């Protein structure tokens, strides 16, 4: 983790513009082609959900803006982010939240995520990481979504990305799902979302 020198930080002016706002958050939803990912997970007998959590985490890690965090008067830059995701045990309607490092291998992450989720006995486990190092994930696999807003306290320093998606659907021979992001405009702009989108697509296509 690095503490940013705001005096020389190129984003200083943008940060100071959004910093006084009591609600600097914005959300947006966009379609994602998951055809290649679905084929890959089926071929390798991996969880589609855990695999997408892993790839989103890796794509966000590759865009520096997603790793900036507000800490009082300081801005810090994490080396990497940690996924914290909702999950359901078989036969249960009550979700729980599991947190673990992504690591460097998609199959290994899927294995560890499944083991951690099945073994978890409490509602939430954020692990040893600072809260602002996390990415919050949720999924609504029962229906497609057009947008989604998470509950939150309106703390303007909240720098944790919220990521959600719904049920994928076939359109013109491709599997598409809508992905929703909630972000803090102090730190992340639309151009950074575009960079994330490009990197996520590249990571998925590399699985083909």
Segment 172-187, tens digit of pLDDT: 999 999 999 999 999 9
Tokens 């082609």 locate to: 33
Give all domains of the chain, ordered by start, each with its CATH number: 2-205 (3.30.559.10)
Helices then strands, each counted (H, E), the chain: 5, 10
Count how many Cα atoms sit within 13 Å of the Cα of residue 47 in the half-sphere of its side chain.
Answer: 18
Q: What is the pLDDT of residues 111-140, one digit of tens each?
A: 999 999 999 999 998 889 999 999 999 999
Could you give the count of Cα atoms lying within 13 Å of 100 in the half-sphere of its Cβ?
Answer: 19
Question: How do 134-140 and 82-88 pair as beta strands?
Answer: parallel
Render pLDDT for 47-93 as a digit per residue (tens, 0 to 9): 999 999 999 999 999 999 999 999 999 999 999 999 999 999 888 89
- Name the phi and psi angles at 131, rounded to 5: -60, -35
């Amino acid at each position: 983790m690095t503490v940013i020198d705001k005096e020389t930080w190129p984003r200083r002016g943008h940060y100071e513009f959004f910093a006084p706002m009591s609600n600097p958050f914005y959300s947006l939803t966009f379609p994602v082609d998951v055809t290649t990912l679905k084929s890959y997970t089926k071929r390798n007998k991996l969880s589609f959900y855990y695999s997408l959590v892993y790839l989103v985490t890796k794509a966000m890690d590759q865009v520096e803006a997603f790793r900036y965090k507000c800490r009082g008067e300081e801005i810090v830059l994490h080396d990497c982010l940690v996924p914290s995701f909702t999950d359901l045990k078989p036969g249960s309607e009550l979700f729980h939240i599991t947190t673990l490092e992504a690591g460097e291998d998609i199959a290994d992450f899927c294995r560890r995520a499944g083991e951690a989720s099945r073994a978890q006995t409490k509602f939430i486990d954020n692990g040893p990481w600072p809260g602002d190092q996390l990415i919050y994930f949720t999924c609504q696999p029962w229906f497609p979504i057009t947008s989604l807003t998470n509950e939150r306290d309106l703390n303007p320093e909240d720098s944790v990305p919220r990521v959600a998606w719904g049920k994928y659907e076939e359109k013109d021979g491709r599997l598409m799902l809508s992905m929703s992001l909630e972000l803090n405009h102090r730190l992340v702009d639309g151009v950074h979302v575009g960079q994330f989108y490009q990197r996520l697509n590249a990571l998925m296509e590399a699985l083909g």
